[in-house]
Each structure stands twice: as C-alpha cells, then as structure tokens.
Structure 1
Amino acid sequence: MSIVMAGVLIAGGMGFPAMVALAQMRGGPPRDMPMPSLPRAAIEHGRASEVGRPIDPWERGLERAEAAQAERLSRNQRDKAETTAKQYPEDYELDRNGALAIRGEVLASDLPDRALAAAQRAGFSVVRREQVEDLGLTMTVLTHPGWSVTRMVDALRRIAPDVAIEADHLFFPSGAVGSGSVPGMPVRGQHGDWRVGMIDTGAEPVARQARLVQQGFAAGGVVPNDHGTAVAAILARTPASGAVYVADIFGNGRRGGTAELMVRALGWMARQNVPVVNIGMVGPYNGVVASAVSILVRRGFLIVAPVGNDGSSARPLYPASLEGVIAVTGVDARGVLLPEASRVRKVDFASPAILSIRGIAGNMVQMRGTSFASPVVARQLAELLPAPAPRAARAAVETLARSAWQPKRGRSLPGHGVIGMPQPSH
C-alpha cells in the first residue's frame, strides 16, 4: 500500500455505515479532570506537564465538573446530531449537551455493589456488566424503562456521586475521503522494530513488512474501511519492520463507535502491551473514557488523538483534549495549518494531514483531516517507546519535541511545531 502526502483541498463523505456518516462531533468543555500531560519540554509553550504521575480523577469535585459540562454544543453540531437521532430514533438520542448517544443506556465505571443495589431499587436494570481486567475497572451498562439518558445520568449521579457515570456517547473519525490521485511527498519513518495501536475502523493489509493484528469490538467484527486503511498505512509506512494493532470499534452496524467500545479497545491495547495508541476519532467529553485513558497514561502508555476539523469556531474535542493525551493538528505539504483544523488551546504537534492511498475497492482515494495527522506522530513515538513506562514515555515525547520545527515565516504553529516532514527551504 503506497501512501502520499499532498497539499490539495479534498472534499467528500466518509462512506461509512450510516452511523458513521456524521463526520465528527464537537464535544462539550472538559470537566477539569486533572490528568498527566506532556513532559517538561512543554512548559516552554506555556503548559505545565507530567506524564505518568498518579492522579485523582475526582479531586476537584463532581459539582465543578458538572457545571463545566453543562455548556451545550454549537448549533451546527447539535443540528447534525439531532438529524441523525431523528433518522435512527431506535438507536440514538441526545444528551443534555446535544451530543449523540446510544438510546436508553448509560455507562458507569466501577459502580460499587451498594450503589448498584440502590440503583436497582430505584428501577434501574443491568444491561451488561463487564470486567475490563487489563484496565482494572468494571463497566456497568444500565437502563431505566421510559427514561432519557439525561434523566438516568442525573439519577445515578445522585445515587453514586463519586462514580464516573455518562451517556454512551458516539465518536466519529476526524477526516474526509475524496477520489482521484495527487502528487506529493512520501513520509518515511526511522529504522527499528516498533509496536503501535489504532482504535478506528478495520483496515486492509497495508505493507508486507508490517504485521497487522486486528480485533473487532462491534457488530460484524473487523470490517475494513478506507479511513482505517489510511490510518494503518500511515502507521506502517516504510520501513515497516513492526506491528500495527487495529481495534475496530465500528464494525458494520449503527451501534459502533461508542464510549463503551472504546474502553474495551483500550483494555485490549493494555493486554497486548502496545506502548503507543492512536485514537483517530473525536467526540464529546466522556468520564468513563477519561478514566480508562488516565489508567493507561499513569502506566506510561502514550495516547495520541486528533484535535478535529472544526476550524476557528471549534470547542474542545475528545479524547485529544484530555490531559495526558498527545493532541495533533494537521498541516499541508508546505507546513501551513489546514483551514479546517480545530483552533483549540491544547495542541502538542502538527503533522501532514493530506494523503492519497489505494482504497479497499482498488481505486485511489484522497484523505484529508487531522485524523491522518495523528498517526504520523503515533508512529514516531512508537519508534521511541518500545514498552510502556512513565519515564521512558516522557523521554520519548521530549525527544520528538526537539525534532519539531516552526515556519520560518508567518505565524508560529501551536504546540511544538511540525514533525513528519522536512522543513521547507523557503
């Protein structure tokens, strides 16, 4: 599978199952859950940081968290979510912020037995209860006949105020697919064995030298798609003497791409001991996902995610906006920030975000968006971090930060600057 970076505007739909037709969701503001962030090098850019430090996700109080979460999504994103919920009312509904969620189900992380019993006395029933052993947490999915997800979340938070309880939000790939082929510049990695993970759609085999290990978490199992194939191709770019672990959380139905499936996929990555995981999706803040991410970050895993494609009017998107996650924006072949790249405060690196690949149907497809920038960063970090470890994770990010560059002219890019492409001579 050949991949090419280029600086050409692409437009088009993703061509996913109906559930994924909505290109991306703009998440609400963070709940100020303190998490580790980049290493010491990031302080020069005005953001304090520590990878791998112990944290208490609730040390600032649930009341403050709920107040921050109360802001709604933008009108444009609410309209998109509302349209999708109306189109598939048996599958989806909206939470209080206008974000899309699975109808009639809520998630709880590590719900104590006493709280569960109280919830059952209040009319709740358990849909699923699963031990995510590799994360050391328990996910419980609950429902209450006739209640909205907002009403259920509020009631359960009163029963268990110290537990992460959320709607089962949907996350969406942060990129677009077009057709045709464009010239550009190959992106090459360094030599050496590496292991990198991706949480996305399924992928077609992308390189003979790279081993592709795939696991399905949604209905239909592993279902290759152009989006996941493009991300895998970037992760496996030459030289590809390593392994790409693909967690497909979309499958072939409308109930994929959820917070519950993302947590299960993170648990699988922990079980496989994959040190760097690229999550090529965006969505609203979800405390259950944040709890799972914080567990991995404390252990010295590196999580990489795109900031989204909402332009200058963007609000924070997740998981990129969580503390401890490496947030990546996109640039064109000249190193110029894509006009649609989300303008958010938390950005760590910029990378090429336009490429052309041979799609699963055999035709050349063009991909554009920040979800194709984050795997460039993830691959380079994977070459620097052979195994999860907090100190080594800090060192890997510091090393990558030193290799980044800023434009010689014009405005500086957010974060440390560009990696994954040579600096233009003029």
Structure 2
Amino acid sequence: MLHSTPLCPPARAARPLGLVRAGLLAGLGFLGPLLWLPPLGTAPGPGSALVWADDGGGDDGGGDDSGDDGGSAAGSSGSAADGGGSGADPAPAWGWFAAAQRADEHLPNELLALNPSSAALAYARLQMGVEVLETRNLRGLGLQVVRLRLHGVPARATLERLRAFDAGTFHLQHLYALAQTPRAPALAGERGAEPMAPSKLAIGWPAASAACGRNQIVGIVDTEVQAGHPALRGAQIRSQRKLNPEQSAVADDHGTAIAALLVGQPAGGYTGLMPRARLLAAAPFYRLPSGQTRADALGLALSLDWLVGQGAQVIGMSLAGPRNAVLDAALERARARGVVVVAAAGNGGRAAAPAFPAAHPSALAVTALTPAQAVYRRASQGEHIRFALPGADLPTLGRDGALQRRSGTSFAVPFMVALVSQSLHERQLSAAQWFSGQGMALQDLGAPGRDPVFGWGLPRLTPRCR
C-alpha cells in the first residue's frame, strides 16, 4: 500500500495570526477585485518542482545515460534485491545530484499558490510583500496556479508565515533536473534493421511493429524533441515548449531518444514501438543562469494540462523528484479525466526516498530491467513500483543519429506507454486493470506477487496492431 508523505513540514502555529485569521479573511475579501492578475494569455513562468529526471544517479552513483551501465548489466544479473552489479560508479560528478535529492531544492525567491482565494492573495501581497508575477488557468485540468515573487525573504520562512494564515494554498517552487551522465561512445556495427527487436521480444511486442499505434494519441513530458531527426521523419509529432520568455530551451537529446523509442520510423532504420501513433511532446525544461537544466512544477502541470486538452490518453513522464502539491493536483485531475500517466521510478538507488510523480497513486511507476531481466542497479525501489520493463543497456538514438547504449528508469517509460495505449485501443485491458495489476500476462521476477523491486513484474502483451 502506498503511504502518502507530507508535502512539507507543518507550519508552526503563529498565535497572533491565528487569533485574527477569521477577521482578516473577512476584511480582505473585498480586495479581490483590486488584485492585479495578468491576462490569461500571459506566458507560463518558471513553475515549481525539482525533478530528478530519471536520468540521474543518486546514492548509487550514476544516471540514465551512463554508457558504462550497459557494460555492468551482466554483473547486475545477480541478486535482484541488492540491485545487481558491483562495478565502480563514476561518483565524483554525481555528488551534487544526491545532495539535491536530499535537500528538497526549490527556487529561493518564488512560491506558488494553488487555487488561491482573493483574501489569501491579498494577505500575501499586503502583509508579506510578495509580488504576483502571473496567474495560469489550467482549463483542461480545472486548476489555477499563481506564481509569486519574494523580495529579500527566504521562501521557506515566508511559506511558514503564509501557511499560518492559509494552510493549504501556498507551496514551494521545487525544481526538477535532468541529471545525465556523460554520453557513451557511438556503437559501431550495431545499426541493424531492428535495433529494438530484443527489447520488443521481452514484452511480447512484434519486432516488425510498423502498424502499431494506429488511431492513438500519446504524450511525453521531456526535453524538446528534434522532429527533423532522420529516425523521426514522417512521424506524427506535435511539440510545444512550456517556457516563459525569460527561459531558454535546452539542446538535449533525451526527449528525442524517448520519442524515437515510441514513434521511430521504419524508413529511418529505427522502428519504434508504435510508429503510427500521434505523439504530443511537451517540453518544460530550461536552462538556469547557472547553466543547469531544470523544469519546475508549474511547467510540469502546464504540460499535463496541454496534453490532456489535446486528447492524449497515455502520458509518459521520464523524470522524478520531490512531491509537490501543484503536481499532485495535476496528476489527480488527469487521472479523473481517464488519462493514464506513466512515470519513471527514478535512479536514486534502493535506499532513496520514493520519487514523484512515480510514487503518486495516480501514476504508474515503472522500473528498468537489464537484458538479463535483472533490475537496473541504480533504480529506486519501493512499495509504489508497479511494473518492470526494458530500460538498461538499451540501444537509443542520439542527436547525431548514432546509436548509443543508455540505461535508466526513464527508458522503461515508453515501453509502458506503448503497452497501455495499445491495450486500451484494442480493448484487451482497461486502465483499472493496469492500476491493479490484474487480468494480464505477467512474468514475476522477484518475490512472489508484488514486491518493491520489480512491482508486479514484467507485463507481456501481444498486440494485433491492425
């Protein structure tokens, strides 16, 4: 059973505020019409949530795109419980990632307000001196999020005082990072007609999957997809950046690699799992002044809102990080609208705290398997894990078109997206069955039944793809 974790430590009681709270609410209510709110069409601002894109290594030291993960796959075919192999990790570059995961990183000068009352916003502005930067109405999800700027006061201290006045409205601006390891050298001599054939076979998928995905709409939340990539020419892809004018998109091939796993085209020499599907790609990742790549909770919520509004039935989120109330609300609204969200378990290692959105009950959490069907040695574990799919030592496409073997729970996400989408389309399985793990063919890889390493195990589905 999934046990929810508190979004933030409870605010300490502030007696003076507590005594006058009711009076202030009544007195400030009339100020609602005077509040300055930007037009609905204003660009989204940096949201709030640090996600360890499941490309990152945590306590176990590496990351999704680590080239040495493939080489360690054989070693990791040992004990599933201990995460497998014992190869040396490239630890020095990853200390910052583990620290970020423990520190609950957030923007120091911003907060978010979720579905705020006019009285709550008036108090924040008049009593705390915060500035309303923008209001975002997420019509597809039925949410409103206001981004607030702080001036000279730390976010956490301000949050405590605001929560003493209104406990459920205000939240930190967490950040979400793609923490990638150095890319592996290009693979020479491995570019065959079907590079993904062994991984497809593992889930019962046809190697010749050119007809799969017909009349289906799937979405991803990732870095920007290079639609002109040779393997994606002819694919039905629609992309949208979820950035404001102050944010700069990043040149990173992670989103392109995930897109190719899903809708890579036969003519390009890399046939994806569902080439005939329509892919919606939301890109909320941007570069901070420090040079680091981040997405935030508001950007993730805006991405989900756009994807749901455009008709995506299954959405893949190859990222992971801390819990955030804005992201929670977006996930819950998406699920209530019949959309299935698949999320990477994260690469923090077996001792890491549950990562979100995967640990949220409205998401399907997936972990990664090596070709030997051992768990990826850096995968996060926990009672929230539902399924295990190929994701380690996987031949993926880089920006230059070369094949690279990469590993991480992020690369298991497109396999789950394809399985869910195709089974829903062919009416083989329902969304409820995927969330319950019932009524499907499963290969149990760990302890009998559901376990914190493999979840229910490896699902197998033989689609008709007609």
TM-score scaled by structure 2? 0.65
Task: Find the aligned partners of 2:99 and 2:430 in 1 and give their Cα distance.
Answer: 45
| Pick aligned residue for 2:351 from 302, 313, 334 | 313
Residue 127 to residue 79, structure 1, CA distance change in 2 (3 Å): farther
Q: Which amino acid aligns with 2:96?
A: K
Find the counterpart in structure 2 of residue 226 from structure 1.
253
Mapped to 2, the partners of 1:279 and 1:319 lie a distance apart of 8
Deviations 1:181-200 (A, max 9, x none): 28575244563422111001
CA contact (8 A) 2:345 2:355 kept: yes
CA 1:238–1:347 in 2, change beyond 3 Å: closer, same or farther?
closer
Q: What residue number does 1:207 align with?
A: 232
Partner Cα separation in structure 2 for residue 243 and residue 375 of structure 1: 14
Q: In structure 2, how many angstroms separate the alpha carbons of the residues matched to 1:23 and 1:373?
A: 11
Match of 1:217 among 242, 248, 268: 242
1:377-399 deviation digits (Å, cap 9, x = unpaired) = 01111112359x9x942145568
Amino acid at match of 1:378: V
Pair 1:241-2:257 in alignment? no
Cα gap change, 1:417 to 1:255, in 2 (>3 Å) = closer
Report % sequence identity: 24
* 1:42-94 superposed Cα distances (whole Å, 9 cap, x missing partner): xxxxxxxxxxxxxxxxxxxxxxxxxxxxxxxxxx999626988xxxxxxxxx9
Choose 403-412 or 311-320, whichever is displaced more.
Answer: 403-412
| Structure 1 pair 375–179 and aligned structure 2 pair: CA distance change class (3 A) | same
**What amino acid is aligned across from residue 240 of structure 2 in structure 1?**
Q
Alpha-carbon contact 2:187-2:403 (below 8 Å) kept: yes
Question: Deviation at 1:410?
Answer: 10
Q: What's the CA shift string for 1:108-162, capped at 9, x where partnerless?
A: 1101111111111212221211111111111111123111111122122122213
Could you tell me how far apart the structure 2 residues matched to 1:395 and 1:83 are? Answer: 37
Superposition deviation, residue 362 in structure 1? 3.4
Q: Is the 8 A contact 2:55 2:347 kept in 1?
A: no
* Paired residues for 1:327-406 under 5 Å: 327-354=365-392, 355-386=394-425, 392-395=430-433, 397=435, 402-406=440-444
Which residue does the alignment assign to 1:294? 332
Over aligned residues, Cα RMSD in angstroms? 3.6
Output the CA distance in 1 between the equivalents of 2:438 and 2:414.
14
- Residue 330 of structure 2 aligns to a residue in which SS? helix
Name the counterpart of 1:145: 151
Tell me if structure 2 keeps the 8 A contact 1:25–1:171.
Answer: no
Which has the larger displacement, 204-213 or 337-346? 204-213
TM-score of the two chains, using structure 1 as the length reference: 0.71
Q: Which residue of 1 aligns with 2:307?
A: 269
Question: Once structures 1 and 2 are overlaid, which stretch shifts more, 396-405 or 372-381?
Answer: 396-405
Residue 115 of structure 2 is aligned with which of 110, 115, 120?
110
Taking a change above 3 Å as real, the CA distance of residues 407 and 129 of structure 1, as seen in their structure-2 partners, is closer
Preserved CA contact (<8 Å) 1:78 1:99: no
Structure 2 vs 1, CA of residues 209 and 99 (structure 1 numbering), >3 Å: closer, same or farther? same
Match of 1:250 in 2: 285
Residues 328, 174 of structure 1: CA spacing in aligned structure 2 closer, same or farther, 3 A cutoff?
A: farther
Closer/same/farther in 2, CA of residues 339 and 25 from structure 1, 3 Å limit: closer
**Aligned to 1:162, which of 159, 168, 173?**
168
CA drift at 1:351: 0.5
Change (3 A) 1:179 1:410: farther
**Secondary structure, in 3 states, of the residue corresponding to 2:167?**
coil
Specify the alignment match of 2:176 in structure 1.
Answer: 171
Deviation at 1:225, TM superposition (A): 2.4
Question: Does the Cα contact within 8 Å between 1:26 and 1:282 map onto a contact in 2?
Answer: no
**Whole-angstrom distance in 2 between the partners of 1:173 and 1:308:** 11
Is the contact between residue 130 and residue 149 of structure 2 (CA under 8 Å) also seen in structure 1?
yes
Match of 1:43 in 2: none
Q: Is the 8 A contact 2:250 2:293 kept in 1?
A: no
Q: 1:172 to 1:340 in 2, by over 3 A?
A: same
* Secondary structure of the corresponding residue to residue 414 of structure 2: helix
Q: Any conservation in 1 of the 2:53–2:179 contact (CA below 8 Å)?
A: no
SS in 2 for 1:419: strand
Once the two structures are TM-superposed, the CA of residue 400 in structure 1 deviates from its matched residue by: 8.0
Specify every segment of 5 or more residues in structure 2 that has no aligned partner in the other structure, as ranges.
1-50, 60-91, 264-271
Q: What secondary structure does 1:257 align onto? A: strand
Preserved contact between residue 276 and residue 378 of structure 1 (Cα < 8 Å):
yes
SS in 1 for 2:350: helix
CA–CA distance in 1 between the matches of 2:257 and 2:344? 15
- The equivalent residue for 2:96 is 80
Structure 2 match to 1:48 = none
Cα contact 1:312–1:340 (8 A) shared by 2: yes
User: 1 CA distance for matches of 2:233 and 2:154?
Assistant: 49
- Show CA shifts across 1:179-235 (max 9, x none): 232857524456342211100101123434531111011266765522111111122
- Alpha-carbon distance change, 334 to 279 in structure 1, aligned in 2, over 3 angstroms: same
CA deviation profile, 1:296-328 (whole Å, cap 9, x unmatched): 111211111111112222111111011121000
CA contact (8 A) 1:215 1:222 kept: no
Q: Tell me the distance in 2 between the aligned counterparts of 1:202 and 1:259.
A: 17
Bigger shift: residues 199-208 or 133-142: 199-208
Distance 1:174 1:21 in 2: 6
The one-letter code sitting in structure 2 at the alignment partner of 1:244 is L
Contact 1:310 1:342 in 2 (8 A): yes
- Residue 101 (structure 1) shift: 1.6
Q: d(CA) in 2 for partners of 1:239 and 1:78?
A: 34
